Copies of this chain bind each other. A is one copy, B any other.
Amino acid sequence: MSVSAVDTLREERDRDAYAPHIRLFLKGRGREAMTPEDIATLEDSIDVVRDIPARTIVNRREERVRSSSLLLEGVMCRYMDDRQGNRQIVAFHVPGDFVDLHGFAMRHLDHDVATLTPVRVALVRHGRLETIVAHRPHLTRMLWFSTLLDAAMHREWIFRLGRLDADGRVAHLFCELHARLGMVDRVEQGVFRFPVTQIDLAEAVGITPVHLNRVLRGLRERGLMTFRSGEVRILDHPALVGLADFDPAYLYGGGPSVAGRDA
């Protein structure tokens, strides 16, 4: 490791000491592009930190949103129900995600937001975001980018449902979670916590809970991965990636400019 790399690391650690809440924001996706001032501004914009129990609806669709939540700990999701009450989960959120930042520009959401586990969130009032948009173009662009990252994950979710069979969908979802949780240091040797039910997973990948259960059994019996009491063990990552046709490029590891090789 070069000296400058060490310096960068130390600087990052120092900065983060003063910005404990947004420490994970855009980690592994261009967080370095944020200046110390950006980081301080964002940290100062936090209104309160709040703990919320599992299975709580945080935001109902059509409801006016006045602040956005940066997820610090736990798992949240976004979903919509059809009129028979069948649920489609459209996004999972893990620590470091700015869960409903899009509520700032949209004013109200087109879907519900809920916790799946107990969570801790940092709330940022939209008035603060307005100030940022008015005075900090670079930070604004980073925030914008982070909402577009969600859009990129949505697109991959469409691919998952449109082109993969049940095995592939499940494999793909766990590949994504593995990659995302890895970026925020939540994975150790292929093992990570993701304490949701099989029903939740089924509602995400668009199959029935019964069939999801069979798929999980298949993956387990083939030695690819296990999912038990909220813990995921990736046993054969290459095989899983193959089954899922997974390419993590859409997660923009390294940030907006990496693959584009900024001039």
Contact A144/B105 with A110-B249, A151-B150 known, Cβ cut-off 8 Å:
yes
Selected contact of A259 from candidates B83, B108, B252, CB within 8 Å: B108
Selected contact of A155 from candidates B63, B110, B259, B262, CB within 8 Å: B110
Inter-chain contacts of A206 with B (CB < 8 A): 161-163
Inter-chain contacts of A205 with B (CB < 8 A): 162
A155 to B152, CA, bound (A): 11
Selected contact of A256 from candidates B105, B162, B256, B259, CB within 8 Å: B105
Contact A152/B110 with A65-B260, A88-B159, A144-B144 known, Cβ cut-off 8 Å:
yes
Query: Chain A 117-160 against B: per-residue CB contact (8 Å), 1 yes, 0 no?
Result: 00000000000001001100100110011011011101111110
Contact A249/B88 with A106-B148, A133-B137, A154-B155 known, Cβ cut-off 8 Å:
no
Inter-chain contacts of A214 with B (CB < 8 A): none
In this complex, what residue of B is CB-closest to A206? B162
Which A residues fall within an 8 A CB radius of B? 61-65, 78, 80, 82-83, 86, 88, 90-91, 102, 105-108, 110-111, 130, 133-134, 137, 140-141, 144-145, 147-148, 150-152, 154-159, 161-164, 205-206, 245, 249-250, 252, 256-257, 259-263
